[in-house]
Amino acid sequence: MCGAVIVLAGTLTAAPAEAGASPAAGKVRAAKLTWTKCGTDDTPTLQCASLEVPLNHAKPHGRRITLALTRVPHTSTRFQGPLLVNPGGPGQSGLWLAGTVASGLPEKVAAQYDIIGFDPRGVGSSKPALDCKPGYFAPTRPAYVPSDPAIEKANLARAKSFADACGEKYADVLPYISTISAAKDMDSIREAVGAKKINYLGYSGGTYLGAVYGKLFPQRMRRMVLDSMVDPTTAWYDFNFTQDSGMEERFKALMAWIAKYNATYELGTDPAAIEAKWYAMRAGLARKPAGGKVGASELDDTFLAGGYGNDAWPYLARAFAAYVNDKSADHLVKEYEFYAEQTGSSNAYSIYTAIECGDAAWPRDWNQWRKDNWAMYKKAPFYTWSNAWFNAPCAFWPTKPHKPMNVANAELPPLLLFQATNDGATPYEGGVTVHRLLKGSSLVVEQGGENHTITLRGNACLDEHLASYLSDGTVPRGMGVADAVCQKTPDPKPLSTANSSTATAPPAATAVGGTRHGMHGLRG
């Protein structure tokens, strides 16, 4: 079933000296920012700025790069300083998040902060913005499950071509695209806005960024909120297998939800039988893509949205039913275009791979990947190979990896952590681990919660804890693993008959973050 034995090799460039350098070593003071108006209909008070930072923080007088920033300025006389916000990925643009957080928080609380979004180094409007291989996700691509040697060979060739392209285009930059560098950039932002301390709200992959900042600069952290936490002790190869299991549970939950509404979808009342129909649909799309663009891999990418948020379930179920029952591909193509095609940014993926592959060591022998992923596939067939190929460029990565940072920390002020028990993208156990590592933190759990990133999306209990903490530093204190428990938001209902044929998927901003650790934003 598997292809020929392939042992990977590649030329590694050295890890930058800054990986272990003191944060303050030879630091050059950041210039003050010049904010200009760049308001939108949704956020009319939005301001924009740019900030130059060292490419290599260990050589502050060397080459400079530019970060793009946004700000919703405070309006209250009770000013509590800057609140930096990050949506995760790693690799997502964060410019939009300032406005989203400002509008999502109670007005009285938001008014007390300068809420600052930013594109991390290499991302979006920051310069240079990495784009290793444009069109890498263009449809249709080889199926993810390597059911024969030709499929495995094709996917391996794609992964190596991406890693090679990154090395060729950005050899001088890649060694400095890392979580540690991004955390040091955050401290440059702090200095540029003239603050002694920052506040921070990070989602998904942004939780690791916040934890790293807190480790490097504990004395400069005032308040920190981490929502949907990656497990930093499994960075990053092992983390993916935990994620595979989590996404398998979310996929099965979607199948059970469809079975509950058989009157609407007419796919049956047995979740296992419905799942078999889905896999049959995927096998058919591998042979003949729908609409010329949705093959097996594109289908996987589309339905992955249901693992990140159940608000996608009605749209995915509608597309599934229309294709199976009516032989209509229209909705399937529409949902692919919304959930997968439009989120498959080559810049975001370039940064994702640069950070993930550079932050920690990955196996360089494909034999190990093959063995481990086939073993996991037996338990979690939905996501395992999709996730493996998404990360496969790390097997060929051209730079030497850093060592993951031990973020254990007893020097921080009280922190507030949020985690859903049934999060597939960053499973619950990771939140418990971060809670243990960050002494004095408080963990708020959404019991039965199924979504990835859970604050500012309609759960009043969760949002009250967030608002109280940002308002006056209040954190819950409990006796068990969780310091406070909120009940889950209700599952969605099928689209109403009146709009089921015309409704489009909900705005992507209804779910912040993603770690793929996702292309649902990234993919996750």
Three-class SS state of 52:
strand
Residue 92: which residues within 8 A CB-CB, separation 6 or more?
A: 86, 123, 205, 348, 513, 514, 521, 522
Closest C-alpha among 47, 87, 50 to residue 67: 50
Instruction: DSSP letter for 134, please.
Output: T
Two structure tokens written together for 451: 């979504």
Based on the residue annotation, tell me whether 346 is a catalytic residue of this protein: no
Closest C-alpha among 281, 248, 286 to residue 146: 286
Based on the residue annotation, tell me whether 452 is a catalytic residue of this protein: yes
Three-class SS state of 61:
coil
Closest C-alpha among 84, 92, 96 to residue 40: 96
Instruction: DSSP letter for 341, please.
Output: I
Three-class SS state of 45:
coil
**d(Cα 479, Cα 114) in Å, to the nearest integer?**
34
Residue by residue, what is the 3-state secondary structure of 356-399? HHHHCCCCCEHHHHHHHHHHHHCCCCCCHHHHHHHHHHHHCCCE
> Which residue among the candidates 423, 435, 463, 517 is catalytic per the annotation?
423
DSSP output for 64-92: EEEEEEEEE---SSS---EEEEE--BTT-
> Which residue among the candidates 126, 181, 188, 204 is catalytic per the annotation?
204
For CA atoms 230, 234, 237, 239, give the dihedral sign. negative
> Which residue among the candidates 57, 402, 452, 517 is catalytic per the annotation?
452
**d(Cα 329, Cα 318) in Å, to the nearest integer?**
11
Residue 337: which residues within 8 A CB-CB, separation 6 or more?
A: none
Three-class SS state of 201:
strand
Based on the residue annotation, tell me whether 423 is a catalytic residue of this protein: yes
Strand order in the sheet with 64-72: 36-37, 47-54, 64-72, 114-119, 82-86, 198-203, 221-227, 416-420, 442-447, 484-487
**d(Cα 350, Cα 90) in Å, to the nearest integer?**
10
Two structure tokens written together for 364: 């360089």
- Supply the residues annotated as catalytic: 204, 423, 452
